[in-house]
Chains A and B, each alone.
Chain A
Amino acid sequence: MATQVVAHRMKIGPSRQRLGWRTKSKWRLLFPALLFVGIMTQVPFLITLWYSLLHWNFLDPTRIFFTGLQNYQYIFEDPTFLHAIGNTVILTGGSVVLAILVGIPLALLMDLDIVGKQVLRLLIITPFFVMSSVNAVLWKDLMFDPNFGFVDWLLRAVGLGTIDFMTNDPRRSIIFMTVWQWAPFMMLITLSGLQSLPIESLEAVRVDGANKWQEFVHIVLPHLRKYMEIELFLGIILQIQMFGRIYISTQGGPGDQTTNLAYYAYLQGFTQWNVGEAAAVGILTVIVTTIITTFLFRLIMRFSVE
């Protein structure tokens, strides 16, 4: 299972002898954190579960009653919900995989021993720290705007005509914006991998007369696998909740083409003011997210075990 692999990678578990300090103090130190996290996350989750069984709309606050699974039934009949699952898979999977792939050549370039490499590194990680609302302004308007955007000017200049990316291809545009922001982060992890590569293993294949490409495929890539697994894991848990970028640049549209689960939950709760349904969407989002994360992780593990 995923968690065990991570556990193994992160070397969790007893490794030290017990000190003379009484174990009671362990709980005194640990308990406040657990209590606080429990109150902030688990209690609301249980309340969500309860709300999801109620008929309750803020616009009609006098009529609150128990309806069982009716909210869930309504959501399953809503085609947008199924589209939202699909969109979540596409947006998350596309963004994460591409960001990892783009990160590899970037890391190879940043690993070069060249003048000013520290400055280059600072420059190339800059997009990662551009907050998602500014990222959306930048790409939706300054770059992709069909009339005044830089990219569209460029396309016209080389004779490709005007393309309204955000309207014609909203999903790929969102993925593109995400990859631009996250590839530098993936690059940093891959770079750590490259720098931890034992020099002896490279020297060994060089003696055997391997060229650069063979060196990369047979020595470097296998070494990087562990790092890419971590990238995939982190990428998925962070990107599956993608929201700000969608909220600002496409509002889930056109139609429901970029409505992912997080945005769907927002629509139900904060535009329809339907507490019951929004809660049910929240619960389903948690379930679907867990399934997707587990499924993707199994898939990766199958590749890894070989």
Chain B
Amino acid sequence: MQAQTSKRTYGTIAYVVTILYVFPVLWLIMTSLKSENAAVSLPPQWFFAPSFAHYIQAFFNVNGGGYLHSLGNSVTAAAGGALLGLILGVPAAFALTLFPGKKDGNVLFWLLSTKMMPMAGIIVPLYVIVRNLQLLDNIWVITLIYAGMSVPMVTWMMYSFFKEVPIEIWEAAQLDGLGPMQALMRLGFPLLRTGISSSFLIMLVLNWNEFFVAVNLSYDHAATLPILISGYMSSEGLFWAKMSAAGILSMLPILIVGWLVHKQFVRGMTFGAVKS
């Protein structure tokens, strides 16, 4: 009986804490559905007739039609970077697990160290090179840089997945006369599709939210969604409802991805050290 009561108490606490914790997000959603006047009226209006007008406006006409354009940029850079990261990182991780050697630790740590190095340490020459090539404000340049940031992460994540595949599978492939690359294509991809897809989605989330590179190498044409929102904040900062709607539209795609992969997220981000 007593256990029953305390369980119910803890359960209630869990619900209350969760609601309070996400309240700012709920407030953002409420604000986006209000009129501009209602958005800044205090005490807050809890009950109002919701309107999707700001979403429609933001979707079609943020900074003169920017949302869809920036959405395209974000998808290109985030997904393109993640995909290139997979194309290079998966074979690398495969090689490290197939042919273990004494230097592997060094290779892996070198990869990780490029991830730990602040972008501030390399942004200046990147800017100068890109500028001299007249490729500033070009989304493909940003995509390529995101790929460079994705390869080390993908290699680490996939390394932990490859280690779980029994060696017998590769031995069998070899007996069948397959080369390593063929074995990877025919057996590796189907076997590791969970690992590959979660690596892809994790890189998608990280690239989607990247700010430093995007803000320094783009103006309008290659602006990704975080940059669009940041510009929107200075130009339309007084219109909270419209800004909230644009913000929600920008984070919604990645929030859905995040919800889908949150279980694999821990494993991926800790490079397989923590499994959930």
Contacts and interface: CB of A to CB of B under 8 A. Distances in A.
Interface of B: 7, 10-11, 13-15, 17-19, 21-22, 24-25, 27-28, 31, 40, 42-44, 88-89, 91-92, 94-102, 104-105, 107-109, 111, 114-129, 144-145, 147-149, 151-152, 155, 160, 163, 167, 170-171, 174, 179-181, 184, 205, 208-209, 211-212, 215-216, 225-227, 229-230, 233, 237, 240, 243-244, 247-248, 250-251, 254-255, 258-259, 262, 265-266, 269-276
Given A32-B92, A129-B254, 12 more contacts: A26-B101, A29-B98, A30-B95, A121-B262, A127-B25, A136-B233, A137-B233, A153-B43, A188-B265, A241-B212, A244-B215, A289-B118
A69 interface: no
Most buried by A among B104, B115, B247: B247
A237 B153 CA distance: 13
A13 B42 contact: no
Contact of B116 (A32, A134, A269, A293): A293
A281 B119 CA distance: 11
Contacts of A48: 121-122, 124-125
B14 A243 contact: no
B43 A157 contact: yes
Interface string A111-144: 0101101001111111111111110111101110
A19 B99 CA distance: 7
Q: What are the 7 A-B residue pairs with the smallest beta carbon separation, nearest first?
A: A40-B148, A244-B211, A29-B95, A265-B120, A33-B92, A129-B258, A47-B125
Given A10-B271, A13-B104, A14-B101, A19 B14 contact: no
A15 B162 CA distance: 12
B97 to A, nearest CB: 7
A29 B25 contact: no
Interface in A23-81: 23, 25-30, 32-34, 36-37, 39-42, 44-45, 47-48, 51
A29 B102 CA distance: 17
Contacts of A27: 95
Interface stretch (A166-174, A190-198, A202-210, A214-222): A190-198
Contact of A133 (B7, B230, B265): B230
A115 B18 CA distance: 14
Of the listed residues B122, B181, B212, the one surrounded by the most CB atoms of chain A closer than 10 A to its CB is B122
A262 interface: yes
Interface in A265-299: 265-266, 269-270, 275, 278-279, 281-283, 285-286, 289-290, 293
Nearest to A140: B233
A147 B33 CA distance: 20
A265 B240 CA distance: 31
Contacts of B144: 40
Interface of A: 3, 6-7, 9-21, 23, 25-30, 32-34, 36-37, 39-42, 44-45, 47-48, 51, 105-106, 109-110, 112, 114-115, 117, 120-134, 136-139, 141-143, 148, 150, 153, 157, 180, 184-185, 188-189, 191-193, 195-196, 227, 230, 234, 237, 240-241, 243-244, 247-248, 261-262, 265-266, 269-270, 275, 278-279, 281-283, 285-286, 289-290, 293
Contacts of B151: 33, 36-37
A240 B120 CA distance: 11
Residue from the set B24, B43, B121, B126 with the largest chain A CB neighbour count within 10 Å: B121
A226 B189 CA distance: 32
A142 B118 contact: no
A2 to B, nearest CB: 10
Scoring A134, A142, A192, A290 by chain B CB atoms within 10 A of each residue's CB, the highest score goes to A134
B255 A129 contact: yes
B167 A16 contact: yes
A51 B127 CA distance: 12
Contacts of A234: 269-270
B24 A262 contact: no
Given A29-B181, A48-B125, A114-B14, A192 B250 contact: no
B147 to A, nearest CB: 7
Given A134-B250, A134-B251, A241-B212, A282 B122 contact: yes
